[in-house]
Structure formats: C-alpha cells, structure tokens
Amino acid sequence: MIQRVQSVYLFFSVISMALMLVFPIAKLIGPGEISYEYLFYGITTAGDQGEVVLSSIPLACLLAAIPLVSLTTLFLFRYRILQIRLCVFNILLMIGALILTWYYTYLAGKTLNVEALFSFPAIMPLVAAILSYLAFRGIRRDELLIRSVDRIR
C-alpha cells in the first residue's frame, strides 16, 4: 500500500488538509486595533475567549470531510476505479473549500470592515488538490498497466 507513489501523495494530501483544521486560516484586522482570527469553523475575536462572530459551518463540514475521503481513498488500494472516482470527487471538494474560504473572507470584509492577512493554511486545499491529481494520475497509470497485461493473456 505505502510503497506506491500515489499512496504517498494521498497521505500528504491528508496531512495538508489536517493542517487547515489546526492552524488559523487568516488574521483579519479592522480599524482601531480590532483583530479577528479566521479558523475553520468561523471568524472569532482574537484573544483568550474567542467568541464566534461569523460562523462557517459548511466550510467546517467540508474541511472535515476532505481528509476523511483522502484517507478512505488511501486504504481502497485494491479498487483502483473507485480510487480514481474518489480522487476526482476529493479534488472537487477541495476546489469547493477554496471557494468557500474566499467567500467567508469576502463576507467578513464586507460585514466587519476588515482586511485579511492569509497564513499558510489558506493554500492547503490547492496543495492537496495538486497532490490528489498526482495520485489520480498514478492510480490511472496502474489501472492502464493492469488492463494491458490482461489483454496479453
């Protein structure tokens, strides 16, 4: 399982999306030293208490589902066609996560009158999508190799 290069790509995809659940996506700075943190579940006030100002539950569900789908895809190494479909589905989920991240940042900018300073987890869906695409190519190459060997028999 882990000796295949696509398994390594899927594993790093899981890790990169899990980082998004741990670290803040952006820091939002408003007028008069008001600052907020954009976490995966919403925009909170900066500080110890961290009250949720703007909730982003759909993004939280999406960001929780993406590593689970990648991990499931990683362990379905015997079912290459299903792996290919799950990779494509996961790439679509990652694109949706990028769009939702941008949307909630835009919404916060409009409602709270803040400016966003993105941190490194903001690009993790893009990195994970590239890794999933590379895994997709590797799985597809394996499937084509298996089919060509079956034709020779």
The CATH architecture to which 5-152 belongs is Up-down Bundle (1.20)
CA 136 to chain centre: 16
Neighbours of 109 (CB within 10 A): 14
Mean pLDDT is lowest, of 1-5, 53-57, 69-73, 124-128, for: 1-5
Question: Residues 19-63: pLDDT tens digits?
Answer: 999 999 999 888 887 888 898 888 888 776 778 888 899 999 999
The model carries a pTM of: 0.89
What pLDDT was estimated at residue 153? 58
Identify the pLDDT of residue 4. 83
Q: Where are the domains of the chain?
A: 5-152
DSSP characters for 48-64?
A: SS--EEEE-HHHHHHHH
Q: What 3-state class would DSSP assign to 41?
A: coil
Query: Is the pLDDT higher at 63 or at 151?
Result: 63
Mean pLDDT of the chain: 89
- Average pLDDT score over residue span 122-151: 91
Count other Cβ atoms within 10 Å, centred on residue 54.
15
**Residue 88 parent element (H or E):** helix 80-112
